[in-house]
Structure 1
Amino acid sequence: MTAFILVAGAHTGGWIWQEVADRLRRSGAEAYPVTLTGMGEGRAAGPDTDLETHIRDLLRLIDQVDAAEVVLVGHCYGIHPVLGAADRRPERIARIVHLDAGMPQNGDQALTLVPDQAVRDRLLHEVHAAEGAEGADAAEEGWRIPPPSHEEWQRWGSVAGLPPSVLARLAENAVPQPVGTLTQPLRLSGAVSELPATGVLCVANGSSIASVEGLVRLGDPRLQVLTDPRVTFFELDTGHWPMLSCPDEVTEVLLRAAAGEGHRVSATVTEQPSHLLPFLLDVPERHPERVGRVDLYLPDDLPEAQAPCPAVVFVHGGPVHPDVRPTPRDWPAFVGYGRYVAAMGAVGVTLDHRLHDLADYGRAAEDVAEAVDLVRADPRVDEDRVALWYFSAGGLLSADWLAAPPPWLRCVAATYPILAPMPNWGLVESRFRPAASIRSAGRLPIVLTRVELERAEIAVTVEEFLAAAKECDADVEVIDVPQGHHGFETIDRTEQASHAVERAVRSVLGHLRG
């Protein structure tokens, strides 16, 4: 017999699991939807209610369950008490399921993982107010954070798949969250890291198996744990509350996870990672000039007396762990673009910016701005003719330039870009949203290369951007790559892919020379 202990996210309780619990029981399993202290009917909370309180709630339940196998399921905030309890009872736990939940580590606070920055800032304000409350205020409401309003729930995660009536029920049943549950750091001994685990990824909330595998292949050492054969993955085509939007599918996934099923990320790479495969075009070899984190690919035989050349600055995506080698500016695609542009008579510029984590977009933006200043100050570069070209998650870095384009910026290009933060990218500053910044871009030319086989969670950000561009009559040229994949320049060695690169480069250089 398998027992599933179901732990909900912030502001919700066991009621949110009812449909899934009923289905699990009909399948022959035991199911225990948990309402943690202060999150509904049951033990009343107080100013001292914190994460440790919720961990003790789960420990009591784990100790009462007689089933041979206990599977702990944590959704959103719920993964914090789940991991805390499993770390203290590892011998009782058969598997941990992260249901659209992160991978918090020892010392992490749940508050820092709230998806929307504006919501997080408001919560921080309320937390500080609660911490400063005294006397009657502290004894009454100062220690609790009110739940989101009906309109705010979509800022806590994608509400895709929720009918209006269900979303209304979510808002109506939500309760205040004790401050200490979000601010007390999670403490782990390391025992929990030895347990089997399953990640259930919700595509509409910004996660997918393809994105996980892509990050693992980049060589981030923090993600190597995901290649453990005891770690499996499933994905659901829905938003952040799958137990409400698709309870049948969630039930099936939980039963399969308990049986050890699911997709496994390979621990061995039998061939060269896709981002290190050769560039699809045969371009003349040339070595760059390296200045700090910036490489300059210069046109052939550039005499000092010749008029300065325009420049194209290529901005990679990420996050890329700082220990990954080679670094992005030495990846074949960026080397290829730099050489190709130089062969066409412009200066190709690549750089390594410090987007090592989702919280690093501000620092990466500073690195890009510093690189642009360096390039424009070079006497071989025409400081009034510069284009910025963004790739993948680097696309968010275009927001500042679109919001207030300087006169020397003649073109912005974006290739298989992410143009709005994913719903679950809680650490990204709100300013990095090109889909909003486009309304201030005026008639700045934008060249967007779109791949037909883009990941669904990325494609929706491109469509949001294009819809906003249409509304404000922005100057956007879309270049489609039939049957193209994310990172097509080293994956899809097709005639259509080659033509797409050639057309995009010609278009960008045309705007620089026009």
Structure 2
Amino acid sequence: MTVFVLVPGWFTGAWVWQETAARLAGAGAEARPVALTGMDGADRSEGGDGIGGGDGIDLEAHIADVLAVIDAVDAVDAGAGREIVLVGHDYGIHPALGAAARRAGRVARVVHLDAAPARDGVPALAALPDPALREELAGAAAPGTLPPPGRAEWPRWGSTAGVPDAALDRLTARAAPQPLGTLLQPLRLPPAVTAPPATGVLCTGNGAGIGMLQLQVDFGDPALGALAKARVPFFELPTGHWPMLSCPAELAGVLLRAAAGEGHRLAPFDAARPPAHLRPFPLDVPERAGERSGHVDLYPPDADGPRPAVLFVPGGPLPAGARPGPRDWPVFQGYARYAAGQGVVGAVVEHRLHGVADYPVAADDVAAAVAAVRADPRVDPDRVALWFFSGGGPLTADWLGAPPPWLRCLAASYPILAPLPNWGLSGDRFRPAEAVAGAGGLPVVLTRVGRELPEIAATVEAFRAAARASGAALEVVDVPGGHHGFETLDPARARPAVRHAMRAVLGHLTG
């Protein structure tokens, strides 16, 4: 028999697992939710509205709570050969990993349930989705507590997609203040201890799914590359951050499969097989070298006089130092050369979007690249188009909200058009669906793929709805059956779609 030791996340207690535990038991497994010190039996009227209490409650106290449950399993008939699977939800992965390290060989598997990576020497504070709150709490001192969210504040901590109203009311009523010591004390994992096998469960309504992880592996992300080499299995649940409340039956099924070692394995990077972004551009375009200056490569046409320009903005986030960089990818060189072959200046910017916190830096890089392109004497500064790709989509918001008169067209191909919930990007910036109301008559050309990653497709449809509501001049180029990054993955479908989109953009530049 498998014993699932279920470790709750921030603000919650053992009660949050009630429905999932019942379904695991119904399937013949045993489920033991962990009551974390200071987190169970709390009431919002008892210290939930201010910083206070939490004395002596730190990460080690919660690790001890998990150890007590593991030891209680072993105390019954010496464990009777029962296999223990630890499940940690968001913050809960920290005490789960700490306990697994102290009971080496006793824990068969650790399941990371919609949990950010936990690393030795790093406190759980680093996993908080809100960067402003991380910065605020970094200077705090334990003891003390972090008040639980109000009903409308839960999305700051993870998407509530799929959670019924009654369950959200229960979550709000039973949420407990989080002791600051549990967030500020670093996790310590003995280096000599062999970690048990791991499984990841991704809630796609809250952030990235398996497809996006595979893209990051192909881009050279070292942490995900290590998981791919280790053959760590993953599952997806099409729900928000609280699957024990939104889909407990489906979660129980995934946990049972995880205990059996099932799941999707990421494909390791294979230098002998070029990843999609390094495959050839689908159209035959004239060979021409780009002129590199700072963060911008320029591809001028064989034409006299100032010409219109298209600045291509790659996506991300991409690992810092990944090589080749986007300016050297065939797809962006191909687009820029294609533009030059049509008599306009093609340009590619390489920005510094290495993590979701880097969007402001990347936005500055794009603005600087625009200024550099418009200042080139071969460019007509009053006829410029911007073309964004994939994770560069949130950067469109700066240009949609108040388009300058020289911006004749904005294009976006398979873009992410809203920050994903677990990115923790607060504020009104980088939200194209909100910014498009200010686009006025700016032509927007959106290339949409039929087999988009679900978490990205949801942002595209929200943007289209907002564009329709505001009367924006939106033209959609559909690629039925096309994948994210379709130019090199689906060359037959790509050729007509790329031509269509380029004609639309150039028509607004030269018409």
TM-score (norm 2): 0.91
| 1:167-209 superposed Cα distances (whole Å, 9 cap, x missing partner) | 2111111111112222333333345774211011112112211
- What's 1:281 paired with? 283
Equivalent position SS for 1:333: helix
- What's 1:256 paired with? 257
Q: Identify which of 392, 395, 398 aligns with 2:396.
A: 398
Change in Cα spacing, 1:281 to 1:153, as seen in structure 2 (3 Å) is same
Per the TM alignment, residue 415 of structure 1 is displaced from its structure 2 partner at its CA by 0.3
More displaced 10-residue stretch of structure 1: 347-356 or 423-432: 423-432
Change in Cα spacing, 1:338 to 1:123, as seen in structure 2 (3 Å) is closer
- What's 1:147 paired with? 148
- What's 2:167 paired with? 166
Q: Is the 8 A contact 1:410 1:444 kept in 2?
A: yes
Matched, 1:341 2:349: no
Paired with 2:186 and 2:426, the residues of 1 have a C-alpha distance of 21
Paired with 2:161 and 2:59, the residues of 1 have a C-alpha distance of 29
Per the TM alignment, residue 122 of structure 1 is displaced from its structure 2 partner at its CA by 5.4
Change in Cα spacing, 1:465 to 1:268, as seen in structure 2 (3 Å) is closer
Paired with 1:445 and 1:189, the residues of 2 have a C-alpha distance of 57
Q: Identify which of 499, 502, 507 aligns with 2:504.
A: 507
Paired with 1:277 and 1:414, the residues of 2 have a C-alpha distance of 21
- What's 2:104 paired with? 90
- What's 2:49 paired with? none
Q: Identify which of 494, 498, 501 aligns with 2:495.
A: 498
Paired with 1:123 and 1:379, the residues of 2 have a C-alpha distance of 46
Q: Is the 8 A contact 1:11 1:39 kept in 2?
A: yes
Q: Identify which of 470, 473, 483 aligns with 2:471.
A: 473
Unaligned 5+ runs, structure 1: 133-137
Matched, 1:295 2:297: yes
- What's 2:54 paired with? 46
Per the TM alignment, residue 3 of structure 1 is displaced from its structure 2 partner at its CA by 1.8
Matched, 1:2 2:13: no
Change in Cα spacing, 1:224 to 1:90, as seen in structure 2 (3 Å) is farther
Paired with 1:234 and 1:191, the residues of 2 have a C-alpha distance of 29
Paired with 2:29 and 2:481, the residues of 1 have a C-alpha distance of 43
Paired with 2:507 and 2:378, the residues of 1 have a C-alpha distance of 19
Equivalent position SS for 2:393: helix
- What's 1:106 paired with? 120
Q: Is the 8 A contact 1:197 1:231 kept in 2?
A: yes
- What's 1:135 paired with? none
Matched, 1:23 2:23: yes
* 1:139-288 aligned within 5 A: 143-190=144-191, 194-267=195-268, 269=270, 271-288=273-290
Paired with 1:429 and 1:83, the residues of 2 have a C-alpha distance of 33
- What's 2:423 paired with? 425
Change in Cα spacing, 1:216 to 1:196, as seen in structure 2 (3 Å) is same
Paired with 1:227 and 1:112, the residues of 2 have a C-alpha distance of 23
Unaligned 5+ runs, structure 2: 47-52
- What's 2:457 paired with? 459
Q: Identify which of 408, 411, 422 aligns with 2:409.
A: 411
Q: Is the 8 A contact 1:386 1:410 kept in 2?
A: yes
Change in Cα spacing, 1:15 to 1:414, as seen in structure 2 (3 Å) is same
Per the TM alignment, residue 14 of structure 1 is displaced from its structure 2 partner at its CA by 0.5
Paired with 2:363 and 2:439, the residues of 1 have a C-alpha distance of 18
| 1:464-498 superposed Cα distances (whole Å, 9 cap, x missing partner) | 1111112221121111111111101111122x432
Paired with 1:268 and 1:505, the residues of 2 have a C-alpha distance of 32
Q: Identify which of 62, 65, 70 aligns with 2:73.
A: 65
Paired with 2:426 and 2:164, the residues of 1 have a C-alpha distance of 28
| 1:377-396 superposed Cα distances (whole Å, 9 cap, x missing partner) | 11111122211110000111
Equivalent position SS for 1:307: coil
Change in Cα spacing, 1:28 to 1:224, as seen in structure 2 (3 Å) is same
Per the TM alignment, residue 428 of structure 1 is displaced from its structure 2 partner at its CA by 7.1
More displaced 10-residue stretch of structure 1: 466-475 or 419-428: 419-428
Q: CA RMSD, aligned part only?
A: 2.2
Q: Is the 8 A contact 1:297 1:348 kept in 2?
A: yes
Equivalent position SS for 1:431: coil
Equivalent position SS for 1:483: strand
Change in Cα spacing, 1:192 to 1:28, as seen in structure 2 (3 Å) is farther
Per the TM alignment, residue 450 of structure 1 is displaced from its structure 2 partner at its CA by 0.6
Q: Is the 8 A contact 1:86 1:192 kept in 2?
A: no
Per the TM alignment, residue 35 of structure 1 is displaced from its structure 2 partner at its CA by 1.8
Paired with 2:255 and 2:342, the residues of 1 have a C-alpha distance of 55
Per the TM alignment, residue 90 of structure 1 is displaced from its structure 2 partner at its CA by 2.7
Q: Is the 8 A contact 1:361 1:429 kept in 2?
A: no
Amino acid at match of 2:355: D
Q: Is the 8 A contact 1:38 1:178 kept in 2?
A: yes
| 1:189-240 superposed Cα distances (whole Å, 9 cap, x missing partner) | 3457742110111121122111111211112222112114551111112211
Per the TM alignment, residue 125 of structure 1 is displaced from its structure 2 partner at its CA by 4.8
Change in Cα spacing, 1:111 to 1:379, as seen in structure 2 (3 Å) is same
Amino acid at match of 2:132: D
Change in Cα spacing, 1:123 to 1:330, as seen in structure 2 (3 Å) is closer
| 1:26-45 superposed Cα distances (whole Å, 9 cap, x missing partner) | 33322210121111139x96
Q: Is the 8 A contact 2:156 2:424 kept in 1?
A: no
Per the TM alignment, residue 54 of structure 1 is displaced from its structure 2 partner at its CA by 1.5
More displaced 10-residue stretch of structure 1: 220-229 or 382-391: 220-229
Change in Cα spacing, 1:357 to 1:201, as seen in structure 2 (3 Å) is same
Q: Is the 8 A contact 2:37 2:62 kept in 1?
A: yes
Q: Is the 8 A contact 1:87 1:191 kept in 2?
A: no
Paired with 1:266 and 1:335, the residues of 2 have a C-alpha distance of 26
More displaced 10-residue stretch of structure 1: 352-361 or 411-420: 352-361
More displaced 10-residue stretch of structure 1: 219-228 or 9-18: 219-228
Per the TM alignment, residue 252 of structure 1 is displaced from its structure 2 partner at its CA by 1.5
Per the TM alignment, residue 427 of structure 1 is displaced from its structure 2 partner at its CA by 5.5
| 1:399-425 superposed Cα distances (whole Å, 9 cap, x missing partner) | 212223222222111000000011111
Matched, 1:121 2:132: yes
Seq. identity, % = 59
Paired with 1:109 and 1:315, the residues of 2 have a C-alpha distance of 35
